[in-house]
Amino acid sequence: SQQGEEDPQALSIQEGENATMNCSYKTSINNLQWYRQNSGRGLVHLILIRSNEREKHSGRLRVTLDTSKKSSSLLITASRAADTASYFCATDKKGDYKLSFGAGTTVTVRA
């Protein structure tokens, strides 16, 4: 079963708006990462947040992590058409050596 689950499954926004998606996971983690996948392409690493961090920024991306609730959120500000993609959270469980991916949120940015 998936370690992380994203919510919502799909999101449609207007260009310039912000997009927020959430990820919940089940067990203690070393770190949580977000990846982007354009249709049928490989995944691209966006940002990593360690379990002892609460918030991280990278350009127009903001990630938060709440380990007490076992959840994370990814905010994309001032969205662009090029942000249209699927976004996946991935967790690295304590004692594990691999990333487990959620089912993803599909984001469509309308021009």
Partner 1 sequence: DSGVTQTPKHLITATGQRVTLRCSPRSGDLSVYWYQQSLDQGLQFLIHYYNGEERAKGNILERFSAQQFPDLHSELNLSSLELGDSALYFCASSVGGSSIYGYTFGSGTRLTVV
Give contact residues for partner 1 (rule: CB under 8 A): 2, 30-31, 33, 35, 40-45, 48, 88, 90, 92, 96-104
Q: Please, which residue, 99 or 109, has the CB nearer to partner 1?
A: 99
Q: Please, which residue, 17 or 96, has the CB nearer to partner 1?
A: 96
* Closest by CA position to 11, among listed 83, 99, 59: 83
Instruction: State the number of CA atoms in the 13 A half-sphere of 23 facing the CB.
Output: 30
Minimum CB separation of residue 82 from partner 1 in Å reads 17
Minimum CB separation of residue 36 from partner 1 in Å reads 11
E-assigned strand segments in the chain: 4-7, 10-14, 19-25, 29-37, 43-50, 55-58, 61-66, 71-76, 85-93, 99-101, 105-110
Q: Please, which residue, 44 or 78, has the CB nearer to partner 1?
A: 44
Q: Are strands 10-14 and 4-7 parallel, antiparallel or unpaired?
A: unpaired
Minimum CB separation of residue 28 from partner 1 in Å reads 15
Q: Please, which residue, 30 or 73, has the CB nearer to partner 1?
A: 30
